[in-house]
Amino acid sequence: MGKSLARKIDFLKNEKRNVLIILIVFPLLFFIVNNFSISKITIDKYDFSVLAFTIKQALFSTLLAFLLGILPAIYISKNRNLLSKLLDSTFIIPFYFPSSAAALVFSIMALYIYEKTRIDLFGGVTIIIIAHAFYNSPIIVKYVSGALKKIPQEIYELLKLEDISPFRKYLELLKSIKTDIIRALFLVFIFSFTSLSIIIALGKGKISTLELEIIKTIETFDFSNTIKFILMQAFIFGINDALIEKGVLSSKFLYSKIESVKKNMMDSNDVMDAGIALRSDKAAAMFQPVNCAERLHICNAICCKLVFPLNQEEVEGGHVKWDLGRPYYIRHKADGFCCHRGEKGECSIYSNRPKVCSTYSCQGDERIWKDFDNMVINQEWIDANLDGGLPQE
């Protein structure tokens, strides 16, 4: 009878697994096969800046959540009074509310601060880190307090006999539960890394994370790049999981790598932070004039598909439109061409066009021309790179 029941349970478990495969795995594979194109996937400086910012805000959110939660966790584990019960109940509250509730609370707080002090916290990383830390600190409290409660009373008695300060005693206790602390930190990092409601509500379109980029690409049916950002997320999760399991992950090491990526972007004169880019113009090379009218029937003004960030003067001047989803890159239409390009190929803001446009010459640009003199277009490069546009000046 018992074996028969066990076989039925195993059958049901297998049935659930098969249903899961049919409903989720197969459609996902079908989606990837029909929408995933290696040729359309590129990882550029913008992608790395989004990745770096996502990691950085998650690390700082995790650190602040730990600082907010560690003292209440120690107090709750040590005491059984009214205050400890109140703290325990208070830190449970965020678990019963979605992250959108935290976003709403901090949005109201930011509006109140702006009305009283005229300090605008929206679009800044500070309020996002605080919101993440507030929302996720209960994880620290629950993991740490729970682990401290499980430490045998004999250990506490032995530490009392040691001639060390109370701070040192609790430091030793925390070392003994480092596995639980690492797990809590990892969970907080993952929740901050994949946060969406708080980023949208408090970022106000001025910052971007991998999760937000995934939503953007889904909305524009850019499924190849959707998969790219998902794979970037999975790669980071895999690295974190492996390093934590090995016990070699440290925030100092990871942050140093982030700063290295940021320095490389700064050195290339693309100033990026939180998904935003402003161009810093280099010294202009000798301009080589081109008779565009003679070539327009061949090139079809393909240079108007190139993507580049605007500089400060161009943004503040108000003549050039920038991409609202990717500040401050020049805006493009659905066909890939610059939004200022007219039906006949003319520039509607010619007298105020960006410096990149006024100083650009396709003569010698091998991306555009295989043979400039004989007007042989480089159609292969154009087809491979300019369907969706690349940040190429």
Pairwise CA distance, residues 129 & 337, whole Å: 37
* Domain identity same for 233 and 337: no
Asked whether residue 280 is domain-assigned, the answer is: no
Three-state SS at 367 = coil
Contact 321, 330 (CB under 8 A): yes
CA distance 148 to 174: 8
**Cα dihedral: 368, 373, 376, 382 (round 10):** 0
Q: Are residues 243 and 322 in the same domain?
A: no
Q: Is the pLDDT of residue 16 over 70?
A: no
Residue 91 covered by a domain: yes
Domain-located, residue 14 = no
Q: Which residues pair with 278 in a beta bridge?
A: 271
Tens-digit pLDDT profile for residues 203-262: 877 888 888 888 887 777 777 777 777 777 777 766 665 655 555 444 444 445 445 444
The residue segments making up the domain with residue 87 are 45-269
Q: Could you tell me the CATH number of the domain that includes residue 152?
A: 1.10.3720.10
User: What's the Cα-to-Cα distance from 261 to each of 25, 125, 241, 249, rounded to whole Å?
Assistant: 35, 19, 22, 18
pLDDT for 23 equals: 59
Global pTM value:
0.51
- pLDDT value for 257: 45
pLDDT of 348 over the 80 cut: yes
For residue 364, give the amino acid letter. Answer: G
DSSP 8-state class, residue 23? I
Same domain? For 200 and 234 the reply is yes
81 lies in some domain? yes
pLDDT confidence tier of residue 95, bands split at 50, 70 and 90? low
Residue 105 sits in the same domain as residue 191:
yes
Residue at 20 is within a domain:
no
Regarding whether 262 and 224 lie in a shared domain, the answer is: yes
Selection from 90, 55, 59, 56 nearest residue 73 by Cα: 90
CA dihedral of residues 184, 190, 191, 194 (deg, nearest 10):
180
Predicted local confidence at residue 215, as pLDDT: 84
Asked whether residue 29 is assigned to any structural domain, the reply reads no
Q: Are residues 251 and 357 in the same domain?
A: no
> Tens digits of per-residue pLDDT, 127-163?
899 989 988 888 888 888 888 888 777 676 666 666 7
Query: Which of 269, 303, 334 corresponds to the end of one domain?
Result: 269
Which residues sit opposite 33 in a β-bridge?
A: none
Total count of domains within the chain: 2
Give which of 217, 295, 287, 242 is closest to 41, Cα–Cα: 217
Same domain, 308 and 210: no
Give the residue ranges of DSSP H helices in 194-286.
Answer: 197-203, 210-219, 223-246, 251-267
Percent of the chain with pLDDT over 70: 68
Count the Cβ atoms, other than its own, within 10 Å of residue 322: 17
Q: Which helix (H) or strand (E) holds 34?
A: helix 26-35
Residues 262 and 315 both lie in one domain = no
SS3 assignment, position 361: coil
The 3-state DSSP class for residue 44 equals coil
The strand pairing partners of 270, in sequence order, are: 279
Q: Within a domain: residue 11?
A: no
- Which SS3 state, helix, strand or coil, does residue 271 take? strand
**Residues 108, 250 within the same domain:** yes
Task: Tell me the mean pLDDT in the region 62-91.
Answer: 83
What confidence score (pLDDT) does residue 58 get?
92
Angle between helices 45-78 and 210-219 (to 10 degrees): 130
In terms of domains, do 158 and 228 share one? Answer: yes
Looking at the structure, tell me whether residues 240 and 135 fall in a common domain. yes
Does some domain include residue 185?
Answer: yes
